[in-house]
Structure 1
């Protein structure tokens, strides 16, 4: 798997320290409580959850820094202490290799979301129903499985699919989550067949009629969870932030609300997260007082 260099990280400065007399007290409180650094992968699900957690931590008085990384670099930054936490660990299958490598340097806080799924996805109108049928129908899909970023655990599993099913005509093409959904949209608009690497929760299932291909070899495994993982020492350094991260848990439906907001034209994930947090204070209070 390709490890994206840390120099390609995308850093978003916290807005908690915006100048203004009215925010002075809040800024001072944030300074006193310190800064929490969250790493994440550019999956629409993780963009949603990480920005929501950012907004909640800021409500509690913390400054928050976000860094977008490949999956491999995200786990590495957590193990070295460059990141404080992630809410983007897909377990027990997708990120199993990463957890195995750094497990003694991180703390698993358990699931923040249940009910995930991974696999190969096609439009519902596609005649093919099983991964085992793909190679013999390669012409239908131009011999291509449209994937996401090469550092993603899902891509590693899909490479195993290519090997396990002994594909000779089908190749895995890497890209990004955005290029994958763009290709899917184009194919569906033209009523063409396409097979993509997919996962639940994802907004594409709300927008289009899709189906997972059966996986008789069970390479992708069963349903997964998304876990929160913290660096060692965070509980001692920032016990309140640690407690909030530990209490954070929501449903695929709640995540889906934020993900759909993020698909609107000119959407700002951080602004949408703040809006969702403001409108769901009953849920947020459970995390803050968990």
Structure 2
């Protein structure tokens, strides 16, 4: 149905799957992995999504912001920012990759500062 006949399907942990992905990509081999999107691996590897004409994988998921009861009344400006938040997947992948490849959490402030400087227009749009 999806052109995956003859492939071996293995169940493993996410780190094991990513190790196999890394190895296959480094060797120029084809591999199929199951990832959710957004996932930082989309920014780290040249990945392509398979067509899903049967809808086997279901509908797209979404990231949802929740707050406590009364938050919107108490902080309407912040609620507006959260309600209007949108981030392009490529931008998210870039930020995630930088954070995940940091040597330590001590590197995070510099990574965030550089991300903001490189994406100032997007950052400014968050409160527009």
* TM-score (norm: length of structure 1): 0.35
Partner of residue 230 from structure 1, selected from 25, 45, 66: 66
Matched, 1:275 2:111: no
Q: For the structure 1 residues 213 and 236, does the alpha-carbon distance in structure 2 shift closer, same or farther, using more than 3 Å as the test? A: same
Greater C-alpha radius of gyration: 1
Matches within 5 A, 1:75-114: none
Matched, 1:175 2:44: no
Residues 41, 93 of structure 2: 8 Å contact kept: no
- Note the residue ranges of structure 2 that are not aligned, 5 or more in a row: none
Pairwise CA RMSD:
3.2
* TM-score (norm: length of structure 2): 0.66
Q: For the structure 1 residues 254 and 210, does the alpha-carbon distance in structure 2 shift closer, same or farther, using more than 3 Å as the test? A: closer
Alignment partners' CA distance in 1, 2:77 and 2:113:
20
Residues 201, 256 of structure 1: 8 Å contact kept: yes
Match of 1:196 in 2: 33
- Note the residue ranges of structure 1 that are not aligned, 5 or more in a row: 1-129, 145-172
Alignment partners' CA distance in 1, 2:92 and 2:51:
25
| Number of equivalent positions | 125
Q: For the structure 1 residues 251 and 211, does the alpha-carbon distance in structure 2 shift closer, same or farther, using more than 3 Å as the test? A: closer
TM-fit CA distance, 1:251: 1.8
More strand by share: 1
